[in-house]
Amino acid sequence: MTLKIYIDGTWYSKEDAKISVFDHGFLYGDGVFEGIRSYDRLVFRFKEHLDRLYESAHTIMLDIPLTKKEMTAAVLTTLKMNKLKDAYVRLIVSRGRGDLGLDPKKCQKASIVIIADKIALYPKELYRTGLELITVPTMRNIPNALSPAIKSLNYLNNIMAKIEAGMGGYDEAIMLNHNGIVAECTGDNIFIIKNKSLHTPPSYVGALKGITRDAIIELAKKHTIACQESILTRHDLYNADEVFLTGTAAEVIPVIKIDERQIGTGKPGSCTTKLMKLFKQLTATDGVRYTI
């Protein structure tokens, strides 16, 4: 069965799902997106993802031509139509078709695309052994120039960082901000554990307010693990007891080496392992149910 993709109210087969070259999402990266996951017919933190999408759109003055209720229905229908139990949903809202030229006033209506596909999981092995990361020369966008809270279609600095990490044979890049402070990874947030306390950079230094990050903060609170937003330097990372990353695609994944410095014992630590387990339980119970 070929994948059915939603574009502006109609479902097309994968081969026919096409967007105009005059779409400003393509011409200028003018738009916003979300990456959402479903686990055994439960869409994880669906409301939170939609809230972030509509907030990103509001900030860039992009009118989404569907209400949240209509958007919810469109996503669930796309999941059902593709008979997906465990899925990765890519929801994109672009400024839509316009003329050449930056002015979004030429774009009559935003375009909505919903792709629901099988999730390509990271190799299981990495969750057992942990990742090796490197800090890279490409820094995170300056937060005052473009808010890191906007999940926009502009990912060039993250992409360059990803290339730089890959060239060195590392699994992922740690991006610093313009002051050399740790911000996040290319598509994941970062946490450290030091003296049994969790720390993660605040959004204002240049991190996306990740939904998985929020879930981990909630789980920590519930299980009386101290957790706070902190300004972190590379020194703090190198000397952490444990480090892990969070994101919709990666979920919770341990880190064992950063810039060739071993983290803690060099093996995924007990607090990380506990949070990985708690997160798995959460995804199995907390979500919006659909039937297929």
Q: Which is nearer to ligand PXG, 98 or 210 (CB)?
A: 210
Work out whether 272 is an interface residue with ligand PXG (CB under 6 A). no
C-alpha span between 196 and 56 (Å, rounded): 34
Residue 15 CB: number of other CB atoms within 10 A? 9
Work out whether 210 is an interface residue with ligand PXG (CB under 6 A). yes
Annotated active-site residue 151? The verdict is yes
Which of 4, 151, 162, 257 does the annotation list as catalytic?
A: 151
Could you tell me the smallest distance in angstroms from the CB atom of residue 45 to ligand PXG? 8
Q: Which is nearer to ligand PXG, 52 or 257 (CB)?
A: 52
Stretch that binds ligand PXG, among 14-22, 75-83, 240-248, 253-261 (CB under 6 A): 240-248
Using CB under 6 A, pick the residue from 184, 217, 225, 258 that binds ligand PXG: 184
Work out whether 247 is an interface residue with ligand PXG (CB under 6 A). yes
Stretch that binds ligand PXG, among 99-107, 231-239, 241-249, 267-275 (CB under 6 A): 241-249
Stretch that binds ligand PXG, among 61-69, 79-87, 222-230, 246-254 (CB under 6 A): 246-254
Using CB under 6 A, pick the residue from 111, 135, 138, 158 that binds ligand PXG: 158
Using CB under 6 A, pick the residue from 23, 132, 188, 242 that binds ligand PXG: 188
CA 117 to each of CA 12, 88, 91, 122, 231: distance values in angstroms, whole numbers, following the listed order: 14, 5, 11, 15, 37
Residue labelled with tokens 């052994």: 129
DSSP secondary structure of 134-202: EE-SSPPPPTTTS-TTS-BS--HHHHHHHHHHHHTT-SEEEEE-TTS-EEEESSSEEEEEETTEEEE--
Work out whether 25 is an interface residue with ligand PXG (CB under 6 A). no
Work out whether 162 is an interface residue with ligand PXG (CB under 6 A). no
User: CB neighbours of 227 closer than 8 A, spacing ≥ 6?
Assistant: 197, 198, 199, 200, 216, 217, 220, 221
CB 216 within 8 A of CB 275: yes
C-alpha span between 48 and 69 (Å, rounded): 13
User: CB neighbours of 224 closer than 8 A, spacing ≥ 6?
Assistant: none
**Active site residues per annotation:** 151
Residues contributing to the site for ligand PXG (CB under 6 A): 35, 90, 158, 184, 187-189, 208, 210-213, 246-249
